[in-house]
Structure formats: structure tokens, C-alpha cells
């Protein structure tokens, strides 16, 4: 997890690269959650760029968690949640430490036409997951910790505890004169940690659309047209015994 060998676009918060062990079974969505799926569960469509099979966007982290909470009321044997950063990156890499050809797998600034696209149109990764890079950036469960990779647990990391120090400065990018530029976008700190989004989106330049790139913003209420999410779920262990 973290900066890939030979990747010179990595920021300090993507280092050090480190081995992570996933000890708990989980499943992750083949696609980003679509507008049709959101509409079926929530009864509305907040997306800016409309299309049933396009990913839902213009939703906050809290909105995404509300959607997943509604799925949990169905009691179908799974617990639905946002993936952790570790789960997301594990699924995105699909066993590889090499960057794919972006034009084959991702909608990003160079090929998106300034809009999202229906999910699943690009090539999947080795595990059959689509749009892990590009289309929309994806909310994950963790809070941001600038130095977290230096002391995170080796098994099933879930991000820093609320209130931990080292949240760091958020980074956004703005298009100016056809060039994407990095800009500071707020500061986290003790008691003000920031949520994380992963994967890059339709309006991001190639150096932001990488497996290890981490974005963090002001807080869970943020709603923009290049952020959506992907559902993860864990099987709920059976607690009942057999009846006679």
C-alpha cells in the first residue's frame, strides 16, 4: 500500500510504501453506485451530470453513509459500508503494483469530455472491477492522517483515531488556462480531521489518477460533481444455532 516503485508523482502522505494484510473477508462493488441505484433506495437523484447508468455524484460522505444504512435495514446477511482506504487500494490494485494504461481503464481529464460516463465502459482490472480509477473519485471510510502510513497497523488498518494529530493540509486542483494546478484547500488538525476520497475523477489530470493518490477536503458535507462512492459489504456471522 502506498507509493508504487518508480512513481515520481507521489506525495509525502503516500509514503512509506508498506505491506498490508487483509484478514477479514469483504466484498466491494463491481461498479460505482449508479444514479438508478441511488434513486431506487433514496427516492431522489442529486447528481449534477444526469444519467441512470452514470455514477451518482454531488453527494456528501454523510449522504453515502445514509444510503448504506438503508441497505443495512434490509437484513440480507451483510453489513454495508464504505471501504477503508486499505480495502479500496487492495481492490484497486488487484494484486498488481504496476500502473495501468489510463486511457484503457479510466475516464479522466484527457478523455472524459468534461463529464462522467456510464459505469463499466472502460476495461476492468484483473479482479473484474470497473472504474477504480477515474469517472468519479470515491469516498472511503477513513479519516485522513498525513503521517498515518508511518505507524499504521500491518493488519486491517482503518485510519487514525478521531482527534489524532497530523491531519495535514487538504489539496485540491483547479483548472486555469487549460492547466491543472495544485492548491491548498484547508487544514486539518486535532479534532478537525478530514475525510478521504480515492481514485481520481473525470476532471483530474493523470498525475492525480493513481492507485495511491489520496485526496482530503474540508469535511463530510462536501458535495461536488466528481465525487461518488462504491459500496463494500462484510458477511454477518451467524449467531443462531441449529434447531431440533
Instruction: Look at residue 240 in the predicted model and tell me its pLDDT.
Output: 64
Write out the E strands in 55-143: 78-81, 137-143
- Per residue in 21-48, pLDDT (tens digit) is 999 999 999 999 999 999 999 999 999 9
3-state secondary structure of 155: strand
Across the chain, mean pLDDT equals 87
pTM over 0.85: yes
Q: Residue 45 and residue 51: Cα distance in Å, rounded? A: 10
Whole-number Cα distances in Å, 203 to 12, 92, 129, 132, 242:
23, 19, 21, 15, 54
* Per-residue pLDDT at 67: 98
Return d(Cα 121, Cα 136) in angstroms, integer.
13
Question: In the chain, which ranges are continuous DSSP H helix?
Answer: 35-42, 61-72, 85-93, 102-105
Whether residue 158 is predicted with pLDDT greater than 50 in this model: the reply is yes
The whole-number average pLDDT for the span 236-240 is 81
Residue whose entry in the numeric block shows the C-alpha cell 504496476:
98
pLDDT at 241: 54
Query: Residue 1: which residues within 8 A CB-CB, separation 6 or more?
Result: 17, 18, 19, 20, 85, 86, 89, 90, 149, 212
pLDDT tens digits along 173-227: 333 333 333 333 333 334 457 999 999 999 999 999 999 999 987 677 899 999 9
Given the C-alpha cell 494484510, which residue does it identify? 21
Would you state the pLDDT for residue 172? 40
Q: How far apart are CA 227 and CA 82, in angstroms?
A: 13
Surface-to-core class of residue 237, CB atoms within 10 Å of its CB (0-12 exposed, 13-18 middle, 19+ buried): exposed
Kindly report, residue by residue over 49-82, the tens digit of the pLDDT. 999 999 999 999 999 999 999 999 999 999 999 9
Amino acid at each position: 500500500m502506498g507509493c508504487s516503485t518508480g512513481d515520481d508523482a507521489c506525495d509525502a502522505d503516500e509514503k512509506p510504501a508498506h505491506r498490508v494484510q487483509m484478514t477479514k473477508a469483504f466484498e466491494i462493488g463491481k461498479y460505482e453506485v449508479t444514479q438508478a441505484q441511488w434513486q431506487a433506495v433514496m427516492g431522489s437523484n442529486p447528481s449534477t451530470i444526469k444519467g441512470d447508468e452514470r455514477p451518482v455524484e454531488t453527494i456528501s460522505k454523510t449522504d453515502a453513509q445514509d444510503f448504506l444504512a438503508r441497505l443495512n435495514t434490509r437484513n440480507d446477511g451483510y453489513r454495508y459500508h464504505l471501504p477503508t482506504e486499505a480495502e479500496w487500494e487492495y481492490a484497486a490494485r488487484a494484486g498488481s503494483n504496476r500502473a495501468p494504461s489510463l486511457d484503457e481503464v479510466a475516464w479522466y481529464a484527457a478523455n472524459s469530455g468534461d463529464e462522467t460516463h456510464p459505469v463499466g465502459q472502460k476495461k476492468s482490472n484483473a479482479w473484474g472491477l470497473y472504474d477504480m480509477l477515474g469517472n468519479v473519485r470515491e469516498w472511503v471510510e477513513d479519516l485522513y492522517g498525513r503521517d498515518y502510513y508511518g505507524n499504521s497497523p500491518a493488519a486491517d488498518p482503518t485510519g487514525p483515531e478521531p482527534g489524532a494529530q497530523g491531519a495535514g493540509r487538504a489539496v485540491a486542483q483547479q483548472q486555469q488556462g487549460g492547466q491543472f494546478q495544485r492548491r491548498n484547500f484547508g487544514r486539518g488538525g486535532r479534532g478537525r480531521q478530514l475525510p478521504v476520497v480515492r481514485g481520481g475523477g473525470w476532471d483530474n489530470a493523470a498525475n492525480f489518477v493513481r492507485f495511491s493518490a489520496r485526496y482530503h477536503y474540508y469535511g463530510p458535507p462536501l458535495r461536488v460533481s466528481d465525487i461518488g462512492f462504491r459500496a463494500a459489504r462484510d458477511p454477518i456471522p451467524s449467531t443462531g444455532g441449529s434447531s431440533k
